[in-house]
Amino acid sequence: MTETPAEKDDELLLRMRSGDEQAFIALYRRRQAAIYRFALHMSGSAATAEDVVQEVFLALIRDDCGYDPELGTLAGYLFGIARKLVLRQLERRRTDVALGADEDDLAIPAMAASPDPLAILTRKEGIAALRRAVQMLPPRYREVVVLCDLEEVDYSEASFVLGCPIGTVRSRLHRARALLLEKLHRDGHSRPLDALDPARCSI
Amino acid sequence: MTCQEFWNTMPELTGEADAEAAAHRRECPVCAAAFDTHGALAAGLRAVAGEFGRLKAPGRVEAKLLAAFRGQAGLVAPPPARRWWSPVLAWGAAAVVVAAAFPLFVGRGALPRAPLANRPAAAGTAAIDWTALLPPDMAGDAQAGAFIPLPDADRLPQDEDLNVVRVEVPRSAMIALGYPVTADRAAERVRADVVMGSDGLARAVRFLDE
């Protein structure tokens, strides 16, 4: 039996549960890349990302965590497992680097050389710098940026993955973007930070 | 609308759907500049997403998972699960066996080999008559217990070159073979007959002072 074009995740999962190998392959190929990228952006390590993908789908095969379609989508459920695994890894490695912490080795030289760092964000060096800045965010902000901005997960699904209300997702994303801008401008020194701080304008 | 109220709507996330927020941006050049900056950041993040959008897990992950799925579905035997305690258990078991068997090989040395005539002639997997291997001077020991085959000894070919050695071992070595031994007698020496294979490994053992 093969995957039909519009077959939903839950239908594939049902077939997979009955031992249909093709359904498992289809589900894996549909979802693995996003899980891999999420783990990669979160950990900064391809080996960790690979391990996470493997563990996430092993959990699905063994039905370890009890997916409930009433609570959220399968994609959200898979992201949720990946998130727990990544956070565990980060805790183990203790590589979390908060913004404002010792960042000498994590400076963004490409941005510093530019008269307007934001203008080059979509160029190659800007992309690399922005990615590094994302990886320097504290995990609680990094995960929301990776999910909502990089993987384009909607707020509702992100709230399921992160286990918090949608409002919290939005406020974390708002704060995360402010931290990113702060980081980029601190390294670029091209514009006064005051101009970027919404709370300091006068109206 | 004040600047604070403007940013409280998180316009960079909502796309400035609120007309009042749009009006504020037109009136406040600082907020307008900051809003544009957020737009540039969003574009940069989209570029990052695009740059890494084609990344996916290596093919070997799918192969491993497929094997695990087949194992789970009963199509093939799954790879043995590695538990934290399995190496401990394996090494522990190995240590017990070595501790039990080691004294058997450090006794008083080999006694005369059993005559070939005394050895069972039939080959195959039938139970071995271990006592037939005993040389005459060792066969008549009335206090001796029965031979206890060590694991898989019964499945060895019976035409194997076997001989019997008599050794002394601590009584504690009997524990590994199921004998009850009290702590106060564990250090006592007991005599044992050990059937040795041509590879130098023990095939069976009996204790003379049970």
Cross-strand bridge partners of residue B192 = B167, B207
Residue B124 lies in a domain: yes
Please tell me whether residues B203 and B118 are part of one structural domain: yes
Closest CA–CA distance from residue A94 to any residue of chain B (Å): 23
Residue B105 lies in a domain: yes
Residue B157 lies in a domain: yes
Long-range contact pairs involving A48-56 (C-beta distance under 8 Å, separation at least 24): A48/A86, A48/A89, A49/B57, A50/B57, A50/B58, A50/B61, A51/A85, A51/A89, A52/A82, A52/A85, A52/A86, A52/A89, A53/A82, A53/B57, A53/B61, A54/B57, A54/B61, A54/B64, A54/B65, A55/A81, A55/A85, A56/A81, A56/A82, A56/A85
- CA dist B160 and B124 (Å) reads 11
ipTM over 0.90 threshold: no
Residue of B197, B133, B32 lying closest to A201 (CA atoms): B32
Residue B63 lies in a domain: no
Please tell me whether residues B112 and B168 are part of one structural domain: yes
The DSSP 8-state label assigned to residue B150 in this structure reads: P
Cβ distance B48 to A150 less than 8 Å, yes or no, reads yes
Closest CA–CA distance from residue A70 to any residue of chain B (Å): 25
Residues 6+ apart with CB under 8 A from B119: B132, B133, B158, B162
Please tell me whether residues B140 and B48 are part of one structural domain: no
Instruction: Decide: B49 and A149 in contact? Cβ < 8 Å.
Output: yes
Residue B198 lies in a domain: yes
Cβ distance B10 to A170 less than 8 Å, yes or no, reads yes
Chain B residue with minimum CA distance to A171:
B10
Among residues of chain A, what percentage have pLDDT more than 70?
A: 72
Sign for the CA dihedral angle at A37, A42, A48, A54 comes to negative
Please tell me whether residues B113 and B195 are part of one structural domain: yes
Q: What is the pLDDT of residues A163-184, one digit of tens each?
A: 999 999 999 999 999 999 888 8
| Amino acid sitting at position B101 | A
Which of B33, B52, B71 terminates a domain? The answer is B52
Please tell me whether residues B45 and B104 are part of one structural domain: no
Domain that residue B26 falls in: 3-52
Structural domains in chain A plus CATH codes: 1-95 (1.10.1740.10), 98-203 (1.10.10.10)
Q: Residue A29: is its pLDDT beyond 50? A: yes
Of these ranges, A97-106, B54-63, B78-87, B103-112, the one predicted with the greatest mean pLDDT is B54-63
Query: Residues of B with CB below 8 A from A119's CB?
Result: 40
**Can you give the pLDDT at residue B92?**
59
B3, B44, B75: residue with CB nearest A121 = B44
Cβ distance A36 to B31 less than 8 Å, yes or no, reads no
Residue B70 lies in a domain: no
Chain A residue with minimum CA distance to B54:
A33
Pair of tokens at residue B20: 């009042």
Please tell me whether residues B107 and B48 are part of one structural domain: no
Residue B48 lies in a domain: yes
Sign for the CA dihedral angle at B13, B19, B21, B26 comes to positive
Residues 111-170 of A with CB under 8 A from B: 118-119, 121-122, 126-127, 130-131, 134, 145, 149-152, 170
Mean pLDDT of chain A: 79
Please tell me whether residues B118 and B29 are part of one structural domain: no
- CA dist A160 and B196 (Å) reads 67
Cβ distance A198 to B31 less than 8 Å, yes or no, reads yes
Residue B81 lies in a domain: no
| Secondary structure E strands in chain B | 148-149, 163-170, 189-196, 202-207
Please tell me whether residues B183 and B114 are part of one structural domain: yes
Kindly report the pTM of this predicted structure: 0.58
Which range is least confidently modeled, A43-52, A131-140, A146-155, B147-156?
B147-156
Q: What is the pLDDT of residues B128-153, one digit of tens each?
A: 777 787 877 777 777 778 888 877 66
Chain B residue with minimum CA distance to A56:
B65
Cross-strand bridge partners of residue B195 = B164, B204
Looking at the structure of chain B, the number of domains it has is 2
Please tell me whether residues B115 and B191 are part of one structural domain: yes
Among residues of chain B, what percentage have pLDDT more than 70?
A: 66
Q: Residue B111: is its pLDDT beyond 50? A: no
Q: Residue B83: is its pLDDT beyond 60? A: no
**Can you give the pLDDT at residue B113?**
44
Closest CA–CA distance from residue A118 to any residue of chain B (Å): 6
Chain A residue with minimum CA distance to B1:
A203
Residue tagged 């190995």 (tokens): B94
Q: What is the pLDDT of residues A33-56, one digit of tens each?
A: 999 999 999 998 999 999 999 999
Please tell me whether residues B40 and B121 are part of one structural domain: no
Please tell me whether residues B201 and B103 are part of one structural domain: yes
Which range is least confidently modeled, A17-21, A62-66, B162-166?
A62-66
Closest CA–CA distance from residue A201 to any residue of chain B (Å): 6
Query: Residues of A with CB below 8 A from B45's CB?
Result: 130, 134, 145, 149-150
Query: Residues of A with CB below 8 A from B74's CB?
Result: 19
Residues 65-104 of A with CB under 8 A from B: none
What is the SS3 assignment for A117? helix
Cβ distance A130 to B58 less than 8 Å, yes or no, reads no
Residue of A149, A182, A155, A135 lying closest to B45 (CA atoms): A149
Please tell me whether residues B28 and B112 are part of one structural domain: no
Residues 6+ apart with CB under 8 A from A23: A1, A3, A12, A13, A14, A15, A16
Backbone angles phi, psi at B199, to 5 degrees: -85, 5
Cβ distance B61 to A53 less than 8 Å, yes or no, reads yes
Cross-strand bridge partners of residue B194 = B165, B205
Strands B189-196 and B148-149: unpaired
Instruction: Decide: A37 and A53 in contact? Cβ < 8 Å.
Output: no
Cβ distance A24 to B66 less than 8 Å, yes or no, reads yes
B2, B7, B45: residue with CB nearest A150 = B45
Taking CB atoms and an 8 Å cut-off, how many pairs form between chains A and B?
139
Query: Residues of B with CB below 8 A from A170's CB?
Result: 10, 13
A127, A170, A197: residue with CB nearest B48 = A127
